[in-house]
Amino acid sequence: MVKLIATLGTSPGGVFETYTNLINGNYESDNPSKVEIDTIYLIRTLDKDVEFAFKLVKALFICQKIPSEVVEIKINISDITNKQEYEQFKSQIFQKIGKGDFVDFTGGRKAMSVAAAIQALKRDAYLVTTIIPQSEYNRIQNKLKELKNKENEINDILANKNLSLCPELNELIVHGARTILLS
């Protein structure tokens, strides 16, 4: 089995779609096939909005009863604002990537995506990205604003106490998202 390593920004959009498209063999490639993913690593900064996006992604995986483990990798920076932070991010992501893993560089700042892509190529991993249509991205942003006031209910999902918010979280899923295998 392989890992999915994804960069995460302030929007949860993309990670779930990448995962489901890969496991279903529903992605653009010369020879798409179903991928067995046992662990999903979400690489994120300490930014509060990114932390909230992580909670939403993890809760969404719980709501969808996805058996794969979702692991949070926090990089001890709030953003990439200089070369030292870029190098720190690049080093941390390198440690998680193995040969044949899938690296999704859709989320986060461009510098994070570049670092993820460079390290994936060095490790002989597959590069993937998921395209979220702009209209869907805007819809997700509006939904995020609504969910900001429901952090207690999201925490209940994360603790497997109460899943009543799941139908609302499921609205974050973009059914027409396209995943592309680049290498």
Domain limits for position 157: 2-181
Count of CB atoms within 10 A of residue 44's CB? 23
Torsion of CA 106, 110, 112, 116, to 10 degrees: 60
Model-level pTM?
Answer: 0.92
CATH of residue 106's domain is 3.40.50.11700
Return the pLDDT at 153: 94
Total domains in the chain come to 1
Mean pLDDT by 10 residues, the chain (183 residues): 91 89 96 95 91 94 90 88 90 91 92 92 96 88 92 93 93 91 91
CA 24 – CA 86 distance, rounded (Å)? 33
